[in-house]
Structure 1
């Protein structure tokens, strides 16, 4: 009888270990789905491009920087905030695909980013108010708003009309 109890106890311990391992795998899968580690499990709206855990909309209509910010806000988004070199490379690649032709010549669009010079604090900030880090790229000046053209960050008056890039989080697992 003691031997049967021992065998049952041992079998229960083994089943418990298997259940623990299954739970670890399930927890890892759930974490990937909810944090965006698996791009193919996330969704962006129609006409939005996905990179990692973000969705991007490349506008076709030109607006001033402030009106571009308002347009992004109306879509529950913000002007793009570049956080990583991978994101910058993605944006450069996408921008290189978007050109227009005038009088037989091909031109690149200037796309507003969320970066602008805040005169009140005397520094560059993103549209969400967070400070800019010069580790990703350099900004050639101390006034205006930043745009990307041909993969280069450039500056000009925020009142000038350009197309723009909106960014918002991708939806995961039915969010």
Structure 2
């Protein structure tokens, strides 16, 4: 009878090692998943205990976005807070702003903003106007001019904001010589052909332009 063949010392170990790896990977994945779930639950519990908006309430922001863009700020009553806007919206002070890439007329622009839980932007201060002007200037490429509708239009001979904020003659930013042609040009847009922040111009409401939507930010 021929002698029994013995395995070389190096052949058995890899077989055992291959058997262990799938079990090791399974437990690593399971532990990581449990840790991640615990962190999410803990974050929501801390938010609730501190009296801040719940995780579900954050979903009420425009577009029902599941992703957020937050910046650190200050609140006189709370100290340091996070100001949060949906991803794709820009935070400034207490509001979130959406600068569209597509174009449509003024009425459709307002309807589009309303559908996202917002409205065409209402500009109340010089600081807000500066923020908007600086942002839209960055969208200009070469000599191309991009106009952005705001929530100001002429109704029954009076300029009116979409949220019924009173029109304040001392807080307006018309291009010198504007508004004009009031019989046909009854809707207002930011005109990026202007170098400074006095860039409001009135146009026919049927003109297709970009738009700026505004809604309240969420502080946490």
CA shift, 1:145, in A, is 0.4
Partner residue in 2 for 1:21: none
Larger relative contact order (CA 8 Å, sep ≥ 6): 1
Using a 3 Å threshold, how does the CA distance of structure 1 residues 29 and 147 change in structure 2: closer, same or farther?
closer
Partner residue in 2 for 1:149: 191
Partner residue in 2 for 1:132: 167
TM-score by length of 2: 0.57
Contact 1:96–1:108 (Cα < 8 Å) also in 2: no
Q: In 2, Cα distance between the equivalents of 1:147 and 1:76?
A: 21
Aligned residues: 135
- Please identify the structure whose Cα radius of gyration is greater: 2
Partner residue in 2 for 1:160: 207
Of the structure 1 ranges 124-133 and 70-79, higher mean CA displacement relative to structure 2 is found in 124-133
Using a 3 Å threshold, how does the CA distance of structure 1 residues 82 and 29 change in structure 2: closer, same or farther?
closer
Q: In 2, Cα distance between the equivalents of 1:99 and 1:110?
A: 10
Contact 1:117–1:124 (Cα < 8 Å) also in 2: yes
CA shift, 1:30, in A, is 7.8
CA shift, 1:127, in A, is 1.0
Report SS of the residue matched to 1:158.
coil
Aligned partner of 1:71 among 108, 112, 119: 112
Partner residue in 2 for 1:109: 146
CA shift, 1:56, in A, is 0.3
CA shift, 1:131, in A, is 2.5
Q: Which runs of 5+ in 2 are unaligned?
A: 1-73
TM-score by length of 1: 0.71
Q: In 2, Cα distance between the equivalents of 1:30 and 1:131?
A: 26
Using a 3 Å threshold, how does the CA distance of structure 1 residues 144 and 52 change in structure 2: closer, same or farther?
same
Of the structure 1 ranges 131-140 and 85-94, higher mean CA displacement relative to structure 2 is found in 131-140
